[in-house]
């Protein structure tokens, strides 16, 4: 039996916003991460004036990106991107190690407004059909990795489950939540803030035999064919059942720490937490970067960009505008 004394302590009561908390439940061969976003998500979403359902969807994408990107072992970048035919055409979220996040959305305002008016602005309805791409970029000396999964009118959680099932064959559950917090704030009246959170759980037993999952739906099987089913491992059934009890409020409540949430879910089995990772909202754009991008255009292309005697470039991610006099960005 296991006779190594593992130090134990009570779960921390205070919530640490803008962190990813890795954890393990060894008794069930489960590993996972909890993400909690406060000021960082508020900064990312407040820089844009997106309609609330678009901001909420982008917030979910940021939480998912933090959960996945924080597993990068080497220095590098994790990019999550959707392209689809719904009112929200594209979402892009970058995670740069150790924990820098930025995000933007591209959407059709009239279609978003119509979806909101019809009370049909769920994540799945806003995205529609298309694909979700996840790219790991670890610099020019390493090959880029890209995973793709179809978006089929469901939200990002469903796409993440499908990705891990098809591409990695790892039983995985993800829960994501985003909310607006309204607070009375003295003279300023009601102060509005965004919060987001999420949890990722994966079943990683030592023997791959135990990771079996039911076969994928063959799609074109003749009618009446009995689908092939395999019993899932009891440990995974327990893990995913526990995750299904997590409520949105538990993922975003500033009064409930990640450790307390994990303790509530897994205390009967014993849960260990590892060093948390700090997250921040920080764009990688810079005046010198934009200037060298402008220098790469032809003189004629640059001339066409001049308006009122200046060239203005706005970063899609952070909405910052850089203004140049035309002679500042002539080829050196």
Note the residues at the interface with Zn ion (CB under 5 A).
283, 285, 315, 317-318
CB of 269 to Zn ion, least distance (A): 43
Residues 6+ apart with CB under 8 A from 308: none
CB of 286 to Zn ion, least distance (A): 8
CB of 314 to Zn ion, least distance (A): 9
CA distance 272 to 262: 9
| Of 78 and 317, CB closest to Zn ion | 317
Of 56, 64, 167, the C-alpha closest to 112 is: 56
The gap between the terminal CA atoms of the chain, to the nearest Å, is: 71
CB of 81 to Zn ion, least distance (A): 16
| Of 164 and 317, CB closest to Zn ion | 317
Task: Kindly write down the DSSP assignment for every residue of 87-123, as one continuous string.
Answer: SEEEEEEEEETTTEEEEEEEE-HHHHHHHHHTT---H
Q: Tokens standing for 119? A: 């009370």
List, in sequence order, the alpha helices (H) in the chain: 39-46, 52-69, 109-117, 123-127, 156-163, 234-243, 248-252, 258-266, 287-295, 299-305
Q: Which residues of 18-47 are buried (b: 16+ CB within 10 A; e: fewer)?
A: bbbbbbbbeebbbbbbbbbbbebbbbbbeb
| Of 44 and 318, CB closest to Zn ion | 318
Task: Kindly write down the DSSP assignment for every residue of 125-151, as one continuous string.
Answer: HHH-EEEEEEEEE--TTS--EEEEEEE
CB of 320 to Zn ion, least distance (A): 5
| Of 137 and 154, CB closest to Zn ion | 137
| Of 237 and 285, CB closest to Zn ion | 285
| Of 56 and 100, CB closest to Zn ion | 100
CB of 91 to Zn ion, least distance (A): 16
Residues in the chain: 332
CB of 316 to Zn ion, least distance (A): 8
| Of 159 and 294, CB closest to Zn ion | 294
| Of 104 and 127, CB closest to Zn ion | 104
CB of 332 to Zn ion, least distance (A): 24
81: exposed, middle or buried (C-beta count within 10 Å: 0-12, 13-18, 19+)? middle
């Amino acid at each position: 039996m296991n006779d190594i004394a593992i130090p134990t302590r009570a779960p921390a009561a205070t919530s640490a916003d803008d962190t990813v908390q890795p954890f393990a439940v060894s008794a069930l061969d489960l590993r996972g991460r909890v993400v909690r976003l406060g000021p960082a998500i508020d900064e990312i979403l407040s820089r844009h004036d997106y309609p609330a359902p678009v901001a909420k969807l982008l917030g979910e994408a940021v939480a998912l990106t933090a959960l996945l990107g924080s597993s990068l072992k080497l220095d590098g970048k994790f990019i999550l991107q959707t392209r689809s035919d719904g009112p929200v055409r594209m979402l892009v979220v970058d995670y740069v190690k150790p924990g820098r996040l930025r995000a933007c959305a591209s959407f059709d305002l009239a279609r978003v407004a119509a979806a909101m008016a019809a009370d049909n602005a769920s994540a799945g309805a806003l995205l529609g059909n298309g694909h979700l791409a996840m790219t790991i970029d670890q610099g020019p000396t390493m090959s880029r990795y890209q995973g793709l999964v179809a978006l089929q009118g469901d939200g990002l959680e469903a796409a993440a489950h499908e990705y891990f099932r098809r591409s990695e064959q790892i039983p995985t559950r993800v829960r994501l939540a985003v909310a607006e917090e309204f607070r009375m704030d003295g003279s300023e009246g009601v102060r509005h803030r965004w919060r987001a959170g999420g949890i990722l759980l994966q079943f990683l037993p030592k023997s791959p035999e135990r990771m079996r999952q039911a076969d994928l739906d063959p799609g074109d099987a003749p009618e009446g064919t009995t689908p092939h089913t395999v019993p899932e491992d009891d440990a995974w059934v327990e893990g995913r059942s526990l995750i299904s009890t997590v409520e949105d409020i538990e993922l975003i409540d500033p009064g409930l720490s990640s450790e307390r949430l994990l303790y509530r879910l897994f205390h009967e089995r014993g849960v260990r937490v590892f060093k948390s990772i700090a997250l921040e909202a920080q764009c990688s754009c810079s005046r010198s970067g934009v200037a060298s991008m402008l220098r790469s255009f032809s003189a004629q292309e640059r001339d066409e960009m001049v308006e009122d005697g200046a060239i203005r470039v706005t970063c899609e991610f952070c909405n910052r505008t850089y203004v140049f006099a035309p002679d500042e960005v002539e080829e050196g």
